[in-house]
Amino acid sequence: MLDTNIYDIAIIGAGPAGCAAALGLGKSGLKVALIDKDRFPREKACGDAIPGPAISTLEKAFPFFQDEFFNLKKKHRIRSSSIILNNGRPIDYYWKLPAYNIKRSLFDAFLLKLVRKYASVDILTEWAVNEINPGTPHLIKSKNAGKSIKAKFIIGCDGVNSITAKVFQQTANSKQQTVFAVRAYYKGVKLDPDTNFFYILKKYLPGYFWAFPLGNDVFNVGFGMKTDRAGKVPLKMKEVLSEFIRSGQVKDAFAGSQQLSENSGAIIPIGGKHGSYSGDGYLLTGDAAHLADPLQGHGIDKAIVSGLLAARHTANCFKEDDLSADFNANYDLSIKIGIGRELRKNRRKQLMLAMFPFLLRIYAMLRK
Ligand SMILES: Cc1cc2nc3c(=O)[nH]c(=O)nc-3n(C[C@H](O)[C@H](O)[C@H](O)COP(=O)(O)OP(=O)(O)OC[C@H]3O[C@@H](n4cnc5c(N)ncnc54)[C@H](O)[C@@H]3O)c2cc1C
């Protein structure tokens, strides 16, 4: 059934990028729909480590955020990170800025709750977009919701398998531009409950294992590796993680622990190559725009920053009455300046470290 109302903007995807965009447009006076295929809270394969800049960016953008985040339960404050290279001595960092771990199901539901509370936006959940007919306006269809809507502008925040990117840019994820990552929850791990642990092994480069505490004796444990290199490892990624826990350097810490969930895998679309993030009547953000960090694989911060940049740019589009690809090139520029430089730098580091693993220790010492 066609909703005869035409939206100014359809934000497809209500993860961190989509919620940031919706909050950014919440008081714009524009008619906005925030669409997601799932009902929240929903699971999302993730390390559950919320990068500090994700929080500080939201604090700067929205006066209400600090109090709301303070009241968010079940987040776990992290004091330090420990990097262990090839079974060597740990290199420890102590964070000045607060850093938190929290299950993504809870963090993303929290962001959507803020959209409900503070933004004038129609929220359509359990509304999987399975067809977009580009036009003026665009037609957006959902089989499972049995509905269609029209929108003059689309902000694609629909993650790694973005239908927006597929329709407008005909792009597919390549092995060179993705990391494959697996994670599971464990209880009863004998590691410091206030430290994020990173284990880097020469035979699994570029990539690393992690153990991130979530409080209440639960750890998020995982492994990620560049997808083109993962194909050269004899074991399947899920088996690599299980083997590391059973027989790697952490086996004593995991002795007697209990696995609470299956090993769950997904790809991370890493950035650092030049690309286009927009065109006539649309923008891409977060994972849909390949903006995750190539070195560490984090993408929540980049999703939030790009979601906010998209909101600011889209409000300008309507102010200037210009939704064209030419005008949207300004958004590409803001992404290249705001995020792209760091991604390109980290992509070069990732390639260097894969070729010359001994640089890892030097790099870690310099970072310290
Ligand atoms: C195993 C793993 C571990 C990771 N660990 C970390 C970490 O610890 N820290 C970190 O910062 N990053 C981590 N990342 C990366 C991080 O998860 C992503 O970069 C981040 O989620 C990107 O946010 P996003 O809003 O762009 O996309 P998403 O969070 O993927 O949100 C996209 C949303 O779009 C919806 N959607 C998708 N398709 C449709 C459709 N057709 N119709 C309607 N809705 C749709 C989805 O339901 C989803 O809610 C990890 C990734 C993986 C796979």
Q: Does residue 286 sit in the same domain as residue 215?
A: no
* Whole-number pLDDT of residue 120: 98
* Whole-number pLDDT of residue 131: 98
Structural domain range at position 230: 176-268+361-367
Peptide bond into 98 cis (omega under 30): no
* Assigned domain for 124 exists: yes
Q: Does residue 280 sit in the same domain as residue 183?
A: no
* Assigned domain for 88 exists: no
Q: Which atom of ligand 1 is nearest to the CA of 129?
A: 42
User: SS3 string of the chain?
Assistant: CEEEEEEEEEEECCCHHHHHHHHHHCCCCCCEEEECCCCCCCCCCCCCEECHHHHHHHHHHCCCHHHHHHCCCCCEEEEEEEEEECCCCCEEEEEEEEEEECCHHHHHHHHHHHHHHHCCCEEECCCCCCEEECCCCEEEEECCCCEEEEEEEEEECCCCCCHHHHHHHCCCCCHHHEEEEEEEEEECCCCCCCEEEEEECHHHCCEEEEEEEEECCEEEEEEEEEHHHHCCCCCCHHHHHHHHHHHCCCHHHHCCCEECCCCEEEEEEECCCCCCCEECCEEECHHHHCCECCCCCCCHHHHHHHHHHHHHHHHHHHHHCCCCHHHHHHHHHHHHHHHHHHHHHHHHHHHHHHHCCCHHHHHHHHHC
Q: Is the CB of 266 under 6 A from ligand 1?
A: yes
Q: Does residue 25 sit in the same domain as residue 53?
A: yes
* Whole-number pLDDT of residue 170: 87
Please state the domain count of the chain.
2
* Low pLDDT (below 50) residues in the chain: none
* Whole-number pLDDT of residue 233: 72
What is the whole-number distance in angstroms between the Cα of residue 243 and the centre of ligand 1? 26
Q: Does residue 238 sit in the same domain as residue 343?
A: no
* Whole-number pLDDT of residue 183: 95
CATH number of the structural domain spanning residue 237: 3.30.9.10
What is the whole-number distance in angstroms between the Cα of residue 223 and the centre of ligand 1? 17
> How far apart are the C-alpha atoms of 106 and 75, rounded to whole Å?
9
* Whole-number pLDDT of residue 97: 74
CATH number of the structural domain spanning residue 57: 3.50.50.60
What is the whole-number distance in angstroms between the Cα of residue 347 and the centre of ligand 1? 20
What is the whole-number distance in angstroms between the Cα of residue 44 and the centre of ligand 1? 7
Q: Does residue 120 sit in the same domain as residue 37?
A: yes
* Assigned domain for 153 exists: yes
* Whole-number pLDDT of residue 8: 98
Ligand 1 probe mutation, 34, 37, 46, most atoms within 8 A of CB: 46
> How far apart are the C-alpha atoms of 101 and 277, rounded to whole Å?
29
User: What residues have CB less than 8 Å from 46, skipping those under 6 apart?
Assistant: 104, 183, 220, 300
* Whole-number pLDDT of residue 284: 97
Q: What is the pLDDT of residues 116-131, one digit of tens each?
A: 999 999 999 999 999 9
Q: What is the pLDDT of residues 52-100, one digit of tens each?
A: 999 999 999 999 999 999 999 999 999 899 989 887 778 888 877 788 9
* Assigned domain for 87 exists: no
* Assigned domain for 215 exists: yes
Q: Does residue 297 sit in the same domain as residue 209?
A: no
> How far apart are the C-alpha atoms of 277 and 284, rounded to whole Å?
5
What is the whole-number distance in angstroms between the Cα of residue 93 and the centre of ligand 1? 27
* Whole-number pLDDT of residue 365: 65
* Whole-number pLDDT of residue 236: 80
Residue nearest to atom 16 of ligand 1 (CA): 299
